[in-house]
Structure 1
Amino acid sequence: MRRALDFGLRALRPRTVLALLGWSVPEMLATALSGVAVARAVDTGFLAGRPDIGLAWLGVLAAGAVAAAVGTRQVYRRLGDLAEPFRDTLVRRVVDGALRRGVRGLRDDGAIARLTHQVEIARDTFAGLVMVIRGFLVTVVGAVVGMLSLAPAVAAVVLPGFALGVGAFVATLGAAAQRQRAYVRTDEELSVRAAAALHGVRDVVARGAEEHTAATVDAAVADHASAERALARVAAARAVCLAVGGWFPLVALLAAGGWMARRGLSAGELVGGLTYVLTALQPALASLIRGMGGGGLRFVVTVERILESAERRPGPGTTHRAGQVPRSPRATRGGPSAATSSVPLLVARNVSFSYGPHAAPVLRNLDLDLDTGAHLAVVGPSGIGKSTLAGLLCGLIRPDAGEVLLRGVTVTALSARQLATQRALIPQEAYLFTGSLWDNLTYLRPRATTREVRHAVRAVGAAPLVERLGGCRAVVRPEDLSAGERQLVALARAYLSPAPLAVLDEATSYLDPAAERRAEEAFASRPGALVVIAHRMSSAMRARRVLVLDGADVQLGDQDEVLARSPLYRSLVGHWWEPPRSSRGAPGTSTGDLTVPEPSPLRSS
């Protein structure tokens, strides 16, 4: 809380603050004049039988209100001089933080939300807080000056209760900020768990996991409800503060009215004192509690989240751990040095990951070695974490525990340029840009020769597409190509890259089975290692090793080993495959003692 408040205080520009205070003087004078004008209108006007004088004093009160309105208008006109620079500062923090993580090859999925949503919330609440606090101070100072000039005894009766209510409210702000943070965390957790349950509802029903899934969501609902009840208790405490600071002075003034009248307090002065309480102090405190209790808490929580995200540094992956091979000076240009060639291409040790501190782990204590020439398929039901595993292996996601080493170097310690030379990740939705087909193909290897490009295009089966488009120098627009055609271009680009590790994350999902097989076999024969997030079971059966994700537990081995150990894999194989038929013309392609029918897709994670 203190961090966000300090950041907001540093955003207050002295010249703009002085201008705001200067234009607040008419409002302050109008507040100070209100009780005095009412008292004089009563004592010297209406009670004295001179209604003209009473109306004249009320006219003075109206003139003061007009002057206050002019000042308030000028205040709002200058409010942008504080709010917009504050917004620009936050935008720079968000963009700088996202760029720092980007050049290190780290994903920042929340940067867009922070830039388009959270920054605007912070800007609006900052401006609101400035106006609320300014209005409170102006009103209180004006009321105190007016009461002291009207009758010091009125101030002595009113101000202690008012000060007690303000102090009690300020004391609740720390606890309220903690409750607001807890509410935001539980709301996000509930959204994540509910979305995961809905996304994988067919798998949940198919595996009979309805009770477990419901219990998981129920726990998130219970946490969210508990956090909301805690917020409600804080709101109730704020109501008590308003009663003490806003209504107790009124009761005290009425109770002491007879005593003060016997000591010379006039009826007009008593009514003037009531005017200060009812039209100044009580509304000012209510506005402060409403503004600080609502917008103030949103400001604190939002700004703290923005600052934490913007200043987050790469974690332990940037330092060398025990057994890790340090990067040589040459690694800054071409990736890890050749001295690491004796270690496996990719190593994962005790890798665990979950989406949030209270979420169930997606992976737990995963160990994996991939040597040059490895061909691994990753299999599992929808939403189980296959794409998450791909992000961990490629350095896009940092594990909660353990480490992933690429040629002996922690993968998250490599810069984006180094990662591009060591691993190629092809997602389901292939990215192309408007320009020549040549530029799209050679993006990861700008100095590729014509012969190398043609070989890559033929290897993945993209030659007919290139010929139809008019050759490698033709200009293409992504929207003019189908999803499958974009995938072919992306596959050729990845095949041409110098990266020894290729990860196909549903990268052939829009291709027909024959085209998929050709592309995967091309990558399997390419120097390096291949990891395939299986879209069809035929992809898994072509791999030399299979990794089955079943909750946070995994099974790893060759086809026979995984079939023997994993009921889930046996179920998947039994669903998509059938024993070979002895009759001629039986559909499918024989592979050992299994026959491949026309493959059907597995849903992506």
Structure 2
Amino acid sequence: MTTPPAAPRGGTATAVRRGTATAPLRRALRRHPRRLARIAAWSALEAVPAFLIGHAVARAIEDGFAAGRPGTGLAWLAALGAAWLVAAVAARQIVLAVAAVAEPFRDDLLAVVVHGAVRRAAATAGARRDSAAVTRAGLQVELARDAFAAVVTTVRGFAFTVVSVVLGLLTLAPGAAALVLPPFAAGLGLFLASLPALARGQRAFLLADERLAEATTATMGGLRDIAACGAERREGDRLAARVAEQAGAARALARVTALRTAALAVGGWLPVLLLLAGTPWLLRGGAGAGVVVGALAYVTQSLAPALGGLVQGLGVSGVRLAATRERITASGADEAPPEPAAPDHGTASAEGEAVPVPRLRPAGAEVLLSGVTFAYGPHARPVVAALDLRVPEGEHLAVVGPSGAGKSTLAALVSGLLRPDAGEALIGGVPAAYADPSARVLIPQEAYVFRGTLRENLAYLAPEGDAEEELGRAVAALGAEELVRAAGGYDAPLDPAALSAGQRQLVALVRAYLSPARLVVLDEATSCLDPAAEARVERAFARRGGTLVVVAHRITSARRAGRVLLMDGPDVRTGTHDELVRTAPLYADLVGHWQPEPVS
């Protein structure tokens, strides 16, 4: 078989990765303009004290206490206090509004992780991979979400505060603005110039941390073999090198981080010194003592804290966001799958580099398993052993058996998500692991629903250009009309957390029904539906055409099927429901323990 071309490398790959990395961020900021407008409106209210503080302090001193009118001074301070109360209310609303923007951003990153994990699992079915990688990516998604919210909160707060302070200084004492703003701009520029180095240092630290975690996990899993081979010293040296690498990355990051302190000193506290040193000049220019104190209040209570928040927010959260987002997208979207276990399918280049697994279009939807054996580990007992099974195109097969019998494993083998340790699993004459994804669809018990409209969820797998009538027919066939009404229509936004488990299953089932797949595998995908709804769904898929494999949740599912596959680990038997009741004691026992339900 001809070796596929290698994946693009170098500048092109980097550009693609960067574009992928920034896409979720752009979508999060552009998806809901009204939410951004709401954040801006509340931010303007929150910034009122930043504008008012200098004027309030100056007027309280000069027009109030210094002039012998304490009531006037207290009135100005009371007005400032009221502005702080308004700012506190606005701050609460800003937190809620930022959360509404950050959560979809988290969902987008999770979609990248899930897509990459599923794609690699399908491409390397049966290969042994680092299962902790997905866990680490999930943790990085949470870190990225928190960092994104912190960056949005920090940047908009800094921007509105600086505008308020500049307006306040110019209207209170233009001379003070001339002393304050140049060093503030210099400190800000120094900090922004250091951000690329901070981002590189943070990324190097994350990579070193990941490599140390991977090395430690591998060592802990092989301690017995390491001791048996006398390789303790060599393995210890390898781990020590990883620890040293991480420590070096941490020290380099700390050195670059020191620039943040210098930027804060120049932009936040040098203006205070210049104001104090320039006080005689301000007084000679007609400014009173209250004006000088008011200008100091602008710097110490608004400008310096805003710069400190920006330095902390961008210098920590912003850099972390950039680094984690790049790691997430690089591992979830752009990582080429590793070389599959079987080398004779031409999925590696001559240099040994992993390349994308070829996708082949099956000639039909017949499922053929020949001598299929699969075990979860080289020394584990096979879950499926030397299984021969033929499911002709158009057949409705139910898979039953006790818990742990291997039903879900069989569903994954049939759909190509797992690769046999021995034998072969074919879909329409094509190895299941290499079959085009559009040829088969697997719906597990835990249905996946993403944030977006109901239409986007239902039509996710549908061919381009499918008519509205097709969507309506699918909803009617599976009995999902009430779901559409409850959601508020096809174009209503869908919150996965607000759906019940049964509603999520219905969404996934309609999605599968609309797909072009001729092989449908339902792995207890109707377990949260009532018996009548389950019967309607299974009959709809049977009438839809193609091949249907159902991991049965109720005895009625087996009765509706044309043939039943009874699994008990490596022991399997096939037949109709009536045949198995008569000839298979295990099946008769299962039927007796299943809750009796009328055949509908």
Q: TM-score, normalised by structure 2?
A: 0.57
Question: SS where residue 402 of structure 1 aligns?
Answer: coil
What is the CA–CA distance in structure 2 between the aligned matches of 1:420 and 1:480, rounded to whole Å?
15
**Structure 2 stretches of 5 or more lacking a match?**
1-16, 393-397, 408-419, 432-600
Q: Is the 8 A contact 1:44 1:54 kept in 2?
A: yes
What is the CA–CA distance in structure 2 between the aligned matches of 1:495 and 1:6, rounded to whole Å?
41
Q: Is the 8 A contact 2:56 2:76 kept in 1?
A: yes
Question: SS where residue 445 of structure 1 aligns?
Answer: strand
If you compute each CA radius of gyration, which structure gives the higher value, 1 or 2? Answer: 1
Task: Indicate yes or no: 2:352 matched with 1:402.
Answer: yes
Write the mapping of 1:103-118 to structure 2, written as runs, cut at 5 A.
103-105=122-124, 109=131, 112-113=134-135, 116-118=138-140
In structure 2, which of residues 296, 315, 322 is the aligned counterpart of residue 293 of structure 1?
315
Write the mapping of 1:426-441 to structure 2, written as runs, cut at 5 A.
426-428=375-377, 429=380
Write the mapping of 1:257-268 to structure 2, written as runs, cut at 5 A.
257-268=279-290
Write the mapping of 1:400-479 to structure 2, written as runs, cut at 5 A.
401-402=351-352, 412-413=357-358, 425-428=374-377, 429=380, 445-447=389-391, 475-478=401-404
Task: Indicate yes or no: 2:64 matched with 1:57.
Answer: no
What is the CA–CA distance in structure 1 between the aligned matches of 2:211 and 2:338, rounded to whole Å?
25
In structure 1, which of residues 60, 74, 85 is the aligned counterpart of residue 93 of structure 2?
74
- Give the corresponding residue for 1:349: none
Write the mapping of 1:275-290 to structure 2, written as runs, cut at 5 A.
275-290=297-312
In structure 2, which of residues 172, 178, 191 is the aligned counterpart of residue 156 of structure 1?
178
Task: Indicate yes or no: 2:63 matched with 1:26.
Answer: no
Amino acid at match of 2:66: L
Amino acid at match of 2:96: R
Write the mapping of 1:465-504 to structure 2, written as runs, cut at 5 A.
475-478=401-404
Cα distance, 1:411–1:266 mapped onto 2, change above 3 Å: closer
Task: Indicate yes or no: 2:189 matched with 1:167.
Answer: yes
Q: Is the 8 A contact 1:23 1:71 kept in 2?
A: yes
Write the mapping of 1:75-474 to structure 2, written as runs, cut at 5 A.
75-105=94-124, 109=131, 112-113=134-135, 116-312=138-334, 314=336, 391=341, 401-402=351-352, 412-413=357-358, 425-428=374-377, 429=380, 445-447=389-391
Cα distance, 1:414–1:260 mapped onto 2, change above 3 Å: same
Question: SS where residue 352 of structure 2 aligns?
Answer: strand
Q: Deviations over 1:268-303 (max 9, x none)?
A: 010000001111011111111111122112211111
The alpha-carbon deviation at position 15 of structure 1 amounts to: 1.8
Cα distance, 1:498–1:215 mapped onto 2, change above 3 Å: closer
Amino acid at match of 2:265: A
Q: Is the 8 A contact 1:114 1:306 kept in 2?
A: no
Give percent identity, aligned residues only.
Answer: 39
The alpha-carbon deviation at position 50 of structure 1 amounts to: 1.5
Amino acid at match of 2:183: G
Amino acid at match of 2:60: A
What is the CA–CA distance in structure 1 between the aligned matches of 2:401 and 2:220, rounded to whole Å?
42
What is the CA–CA distance in structure 2 between the aligned matches of 1:184 and 1:398, rounded to whole Å?
29
Amino acid at match of 1:475: G
The alpha-carbon deviation at position 218 of structure 1 amounts to: 2.0
Cα distance, 1:473–1:174 mapped onto 2, change above 3 Å: closer
Amino acid at match of 1:307: T
Q: Deviations over 1:64-96 (max 9, x none)?
A: 111212222222222233112212222222223
In structure 2, which of residues 58, 62, 85 is the aligned counterpart of residue 39 of structure 1?
58
Write the mapping of 1:530-541 to structure 2, written as runs, cut at 5 A.
none
Cα distance, 1:496–1:217 mapped onto 2, change above 3 Å: closer
What is the CA–CA distance in structure 1 between the aligned matches of 2:425 and 2:39, rounded to whole Å?
61
What is the CA–CA distance in structure 2 between the aligned matches of 1:296 and 1:281, rounded to whole Å?
20
The alpha-carbon deviation at position 30 of structure 1 amounts to: 2.0
The alpha-carbon deviation at position 170 of structure 1 amounts to: 0.9
Taking CA–CA contacts closer than 8 Å with sequence separation of 6 or more, which of the two structures ends up with the larger relative contact order?
2
Amino acid at match of 1:76: V
The count of aligned residue pairs is 383
Amino acid at match of 1:29: V
What is the CA–CA distance in structure 1 between the aligned matches of 2:155 and 2:388, rounded to whole Å?
55
What is the CA–CA distance in structure 1 between the aligned matches of 2:233 and 2:51, rounded to whole Å?
66
Question: SS where residue 142 of structure 2 aligns?
Answer: helix
What is the CA–CA distance in structure 1 between the aligned matches of 2:99 and 2:199, rounded to whole Å?
26
Q: Is the 8 A contact 1:444 1:494 kept in 2?
A: no
The alpha-carbon deviation at position 494 of structure 1 amounts to: 7.0
Cα distance, 1:204–1:87 mapped onto 2, change above 3 Å: closer
Amino acid at match of 1:402: G
Cα distance, 1:213–1:91 mapped onto 2, change above 3 Å: closer
Amino acid at match of 2:283: A
User: Which piece of structure 1 moves more, 207-216 or 291-300?
Assistant: 207-216
**Structure 1 stretches of 5 or more lacking a match?**
318-389, 405-409, 433-439, 449-471, 482-492, 502-605
The alpha-carbon deviation at position 52 of structure 1 amounts to: 1.3
Q: Is the 8 A contact 1:105 1:419 kept in 2?
A: no
What is the CA–CA distance in structure 1 between the aligned matches of 2:335 and 2:361, rounded to whole Å?
15
Q: Deviations over 1:467-496 (max 9, x none)?
A: xxxxx9973211899xxxxxxxxxxx9777
Cα distance, 1:147–1:478 mapped onto 2, change above 3 Å: same
Cα distance, 1:261–1:276 mapped onto 2, change above 3 Å: same
User: Which piece of structure 1 moves more, 413-422 or 28-37?
Assistant: 413-422
What is the CA–CA distance in structure 1 between the aligned matches of 2:249 and 2:176, rounded to whole Å?
43
Amino acid at match of 2:119: R
What is the CA–CA distance in structure 2 between the aligned matches of 1:313 and 1:195, rounded to whole Å?
21
Cα distance, 1:445–1:150 mapped onto 2, change above 3 Å: same
Task: Indicate yes or no: 2:30 matched with 1:8.
Answer: no
The alpha-carbon deviation at position 124 of structure 1 amounts to: 1.8
What is the CA–CA distance in structure 1 between the aligned matches of 2:346 and 2:316, rounded to whole Å?
37
Amino acid at match of 1:275: A
- Give the corresponding residue for 1:352: none
What is the CA–CA distance in structure 1 between the aligned matches of 2:48 and 2:399, rounded to whole Å?
76
The alpha-carbon deviation at position 201 of structure 1 amounts to: 4.0
- Give the corresponding residue for 1:547: none
The alpha-carbon deviation at position 127 of structure 1 amounts to: 1.2
- Give the corresponding residue for 2:467: none
Q: Deviations over 1:213-269 (max 9, x none)?
A: 332222212211110101111221111111111111111111111121122111001
What is the CA–CA distance in structure 2 between the aligned matches of 1:33 and 1:421, rounded to whole Å?
80
Question: SS where residue 236 of structure 1 aligns?
Answer: helix
Cα distance, 1:91–1:262 mapped onto 2, change above 3 Å: same
Q: Is the 8 A contact 1:132 1:288 kept in 2?
A: yes
What is the CA–CA distance in structure 2 between the aligned matches of 1:189 and 1:400, rounded to whole Å?
27
Question: SS where residue 153 of structure 1 aligns?
Answer: helix
Amino acid at match of 2:89: V
Amino acid at match of 1:137: A
Cα distance, 1:169–1:411 mapped onto 2, change above 3 Å: closer
